[in-house]
Homo-oligomer: A and B are copies of this chain.
Amino acid sequence: MRDVAVIGASMSKFGQREAWLQELLAQAGTACLRDGNVDPEEIEHLYVSNMASGEFEGQTGASNALAHDIGVLPAFTQRVDQTSSSGGAGIYTAWQSIASGTSDMTLLVGGEKMTHRSTSETTDIIASVTHPVEYKHGVTLPSFAGLTARLYLDTYDAPRESLATVAVKNHRNGVDNPHAQFRKEVDTETVLNSPIVADPLRLYDFCPITDGSSALLFCPLEDAAQYTEDYVSIAGIGGATDTHVVHERTDPTTMGGVVESGQQAYEMSDYYPEDIDVAELHDMFTILEFLQSEGLGFFDPGQAWKATQNGETASDGQLPINTSGGLKSKGHPLGATGVAQGYEIYKQLIDDAGPRQVEADVGLACNVGGFGNCVTTVIMEDER
């Protein structure tokens, strides 16, 4: 298996965009080729991470259209869908294409266009990932988040305020991210007084609905220096699945897919939780940041809320989490999110994160689909 490098990255502005998906994908794709100093003709594989362009826009065949639009024909191309973790699954597939020796240059572009639909339509499209029986009984993803948050607070005697800390921290980080949807700080009081969505979670515990795109460029590690000085390696990667029916899980505060994919990535990289310098976690709901940082072994079960309250996961803490602002303030264009997590880790490792810069040689990104149904965890390492 060949070692794999990331040699370029790009991100379009996340938020409400006056552009269709194909335009968003082309923006990120073209910018990424430029960033990696790679000509379109060099691309052998093109993967597009996208959950639902057919449902949102009535347009399918996104990968073929993008291949045409950015001039990478006749590259092999396909859409990778793993619902809201399509971006992470795209990293997995792109990595596999280089590792296998099938492709010597792979471009991954993730994107979603969502804000032109009403909130109820969008919620309906996203809810289609859950089990139809759970969904028909009204248990959507926000409901699961509320139930799980309640269970976590009760089990670990954590105060409601601790969840708000995640929102406050990630909004703080988002201020420094020019691509973020929301670049404004919020205080604990604002979070705690925002309207209830799924008790105990309130509006500010949720990520917004977002349009956006992001891209990463992969090649064999041994070729990376030909293109750029700024490259990182994929040190480890893992992908795993948990039950489709959430109520079948023994302990809903443990995300099996996070634990399993993390273990795979740790084993492959020979880096372990204590070696990680910076992490991007999938904070679609504030509670998820606790569950993932515990599932990945950053903190013992029931300890993440304390660590967060103590500032350990802030940008100046021991393990900065979601320096990008996370899904919470950066936004969550489904198919783009996992790719954008990779973008942030790449930028942090090559010391190009501007005002968000932290000291980091090894970074981790964890992208979650459904309510922990599918998870990809990737560990990147500075190779300069």
Contacts and interface: CB of A to CB of B under 8 A. Distances in A.
A64 interface: yes
Interface stretch (A97-105, A186-194, A351-359): A97-105
Contacts of A73: 241-243, 256
Nearest to A103: B96
A19 to B, nearest CB: 14
B74 A241 contact: yes
Interface stretch (A47-55, A156-164, A177-185, A316-324): A47-55
Contact of A74 (B86, B130, B260): B260
Nearest to A238: B76
A373 B1 contact: no
A93 interface: yes
A68 interface: yes
B374 A77 contact: yes
Contacts of A244: 61, 64-65, 67-69
Contact of A100 (B51, B75, B99, B129): B99
B125 A74 contact: no
B76 A241 contact: yes
Contact of A132 (B59, B76, B97, B124): B59
Interface string A74-89: 1111111111001001
Interface in A244-274: 244-245, 256-257, 260
Nearest to A84: B61
A82 B89 contact: no
A10 interface: no
Contact of A64 (B51, B63, B370): B370
A128 B59 CA distance: 5
Interface string A346-384: 000000000000000000000001100110100000000
A256 to B, nearest CB: 6
Interface residues of A, number: 61
B83 A61 contact: yes
Contacts of A96: 96-97, 100, 102
B99 A61 contact: no
A103 to B, nearest CB: 9
A373 B93 contact: no
A61 B128 contact: yes
Interface string A209-231: 00000000000000000000000
Given A64-B369, A128-B61, A129-B60, A1 B102 contact: yes
A72 B242 CA distance: 10
Contacts of A58: 124, 128
Given A58-B124, A63-B81, 17 more contacts: A1-B101, A54-B54, A54-B55, A59-B132, A60-B83, A61-B244, A63-B82, A63-B374, A64-B374, A67-B244, A73-B243, A74-B240, A76-B376, A77-B374, A78-B82, A78-B93, A80-B81
27 contacts: A1-B100, A51-B60, A54-B54, A58-B128, A60-B83, A60-B129, A61-B129, A61-B369, A61-B370, A64-B241, A64-B244, A64-B370, A67-B244, A74-B240, A74-B256, A75-B241, A76-B240, A77-B239, A78-B80, A78-B81, A78-B239, A79-B81, A79-B82, A81-B81, A93-B93, A99-B101, A99-B102
